[in-house]
Structure 1
C-alpha cells in the first residue's frame, strides 16, 4: 500500500521542473517535502495528486497506475489541500467542509453532519460553523479547508482502509499555535496506521518535529532523503538553501532536532 512517484521528470512551460525524482508515501507515516522556492515541491505534489502529467516516470496508487484511475476513484482514497484553495462562492463554513464528502454519495445527511462536526473540532474552527466562508481571515479559511480534506479522508472508510492526505504548505498562513495543531492532527491520522501524509513545509523545525521522513529538493532534483537526522545536515541545508545552519538535539525532545540558522 503506497502512493509513489518513480523516476519522475516533469516539464512546464518549456522548463524542466523535476528530474528523475522518486518518492514513496505509505500509510502510517508523515513525509515532508522541503526545498527553496522553485525547487519543484508543489509540482511534485501536483503530479502525485494527478493534477500534473509527468513527461516520464511512473505514478502509482497502491498497485494501480495513478493515471489510469478515474478521478472519482482517486478522490475516494486521497485528499489534497492546495497551497491556495480557490473558492469564491458565498458558502457558509459547514457547506465548505461538507464538500469533502462529495466523492461519497452513499453517505446520509446525518453521516455527513457527523463528519463535519468532527472535522470542525479537529481543525479548531467549530466556533466558525455559522460564518460565511468569504468573510474569514486567510488563516481561518485555511483551517476550514483543512477540515474539508479531513472529512474527505475519513468519509465512508472501512477499518484499515488506506487513505492519503496531501498538504501543500498548509501552515503558511497560520499562527504558531495553529501550525502545531494542524500538524499534530495530520501526524495523529498517520500514526493511527492507515493514512499516509505528504506535506510541503518551509519551516525546517516543523519538519524535524512532525515528519518521519523527508525529501529535500534542489533545482528539481532530490538531493537528500531519509529521516530528519539524515536530511537536515548543515551540508545539505547549505546546498539547498545557501544558508549556514547549526543542527542539534532539541532541548525538550531529545529524539528530535533543532535547526538554527545564522
Structure 2
C-alpha cells in the first residue's frame, strides 16, 4: 500500500499542499480532482518521488519512500507526466523501450514483445516504426502511456505496482479518453493501483473507485465519486452550476451549465 502521513509541501514560501494523510489501495483507481493550482500535480510528483518530501512522510509497503533505491522503485511505480517533450530522433518503439531500462531484463525477443504488446494495448501498434517527433499530440500521448505500462509490465515478486497518470486524457480525442481509462481499469485486475489526475468530473464518475478533491492545496472532500461529486461541490470550487443526473443503469453524471457571462 502507498500512503501519506501528514504530507505537506511549500515552495518559495507558498503552500502548495497542506498536511495530508491518505492511502492508495492496490486494485483501485484513485482519481485526484480539483481546479488548476489545487495541488494535484504536486501530490503526484511527491508520490512518485520526482520531488522530495518537505514535511511528513510517504510510505510504500510501510517503508519510507526515501529509503527505496531509484532502480527498485522504478520496478514498482511508473508515472506519466503532463508534458511529453523528447528531442532525440527515436522511433515510437524506441521511446517505449526506454520504460524497460530499470526492469528485470528478459531475452531480447521477450523485450521486443513487451514493447509491441504495450503499444498495442494503447492503440498505437501501427506507430511502432514511426518517428516520435513526427507524431501528433494524441499519438505521442498514447506512445508515452505505452512506455509507462512497459516499465511495470511484469509484477515484482510479492509487490504491488503503481501507475500514476497526470492528466492522461489531456491530448486525447473523446474515444481515446475512454479507451485510456478502460485500459487503466483493466490493470486493476492484476492488483495494480492507478492514481490519475483528472479534470472531467464525468470521467471520474465513470471510471474511478475513489476520488480525492483538492482545492488551494487543501483536501476538500474524499470518498466514492458518486457521494463526493455533486452540484454543490461544482458551484463551490468552480463557480459553475451543475445538475446531478442518473442513467437507467444507475450511472451518475453531472450536466454542467455554461455561464457565458463569467470571466476567468
Q: CA deviation at 1:132?
A: 0.5
Question: Can you give the 5+ residue segments of structure 2 that lack an aligned partner in the other structure?
Answer: 258-264
Q: Partner of 1:119 in structure 2?
A: 118
Tell me: CA distance 1:198–1:120, structure 2 relative to 1, closer, same or farther (3 Å).
Answer: same
Task: Name which of structure 1's ranges 232-241 and 74-83 shifts more when overlaid on structure 2.
Answer: 232-241
User: Which residue of 1 is the match for residue 182 of structure 2?
Assistant: 184
**Aligned residue-pair number:** 257
Partner SS state of residue 21, structure 2? strand
Distance 1:244 1:69 in 2: 45
How far apart are the structure 2 equivalents of 1:253 and 1:20?
39
The residue that corresponds to 2:58 in the other structure is 59
| Number of the residue aligned with 1:9 | 8
Which digits, 9 at most, give the CA deviation of each residue in 1:179-238, with x for residues without a partner?
Answer: 000100001101x14100000011110111000000000110111000011210222222
> What is residue 261 of structure 2 aligned with on the other side?
none
- 1:130 is paired with a residue whose SS is coil
Distance 1:137 1:68 in 2: 39
Q: Is 1:68 equivalent to 2:63 in the alignment?
A: no
Once residues 41 and 127 of structure 2 are traced to their aligned partners in structure 1, the CA distance between those partners, rounded to angstroms, is 29
Q: How far apart are the structure 2 equivalents of 1:50 and 1:12?
A: 16
2:201 aligned residue: 204
Of stretches 85-94 and 131-140 in structure 1, the one that deviates more from structure 2 is 85-94
| Farther off after superposition, 172-181 or 235-244 | 235-244
Q: How does 1:96-245 map to 2 (within 5 A)?
A: 96-155=95-154, 157-158=155-156, 161-190=159-188, 192-245=189-242
Deviation of 1:244 (Å): 1.5
Distance 1:233 1:86 in 2: 36
Deviation per CA, 1:114-156, whole angstroms, max 9, x where unpaired?
111111111000011110100000110000000001111213x
**What is the distance in 1 between the residues matched to 2:168 and 2:220?**
23
Counterpart in the other structure of 1:30: 29
RMSD (Å), alpha carbons: 1.4
How many angstroms does 1:245 deviate by?
A: 1.4
User: What's the secondary structure of 2:85's corresponding residue?
Assistant: coil
CA apart distance, 1:158 = 4.8
Report the TM-score, using the length of structure 2 for normalisation: 0.93
**What TM-score do the two structures reach when normalised by structure 1?**
0.94
Other structure's SS at 2:152 match = helix
**Structure 1 residues 245 and 107, CA gap change in structure 2 (3 angstroms):** same
Q: Is the 1:4–1:24 contact (alpha carbons within 8 Å) kept by the matching residues of 2?
A: yes
Partner of 1:154, secondary structure, is coil
CA distance in 2, matches of 1:145, 1:27: 22
Stretch deviating more after TM superposition (144-153 or 158-167): 158-167
Q: CA deviation at 1:5?
A: 1.8
Give, in whole Å, the separation in 1 of the partners of 2:249 and 2:32.
Answer: 22
Q: Distance in 2 between matches of 1:125 and 1:35?
A: 30
Residues 103 and 152 in structure 2, CA contact (< 8 A), matched pair in contact too: no
Aligned to 1:80: 79
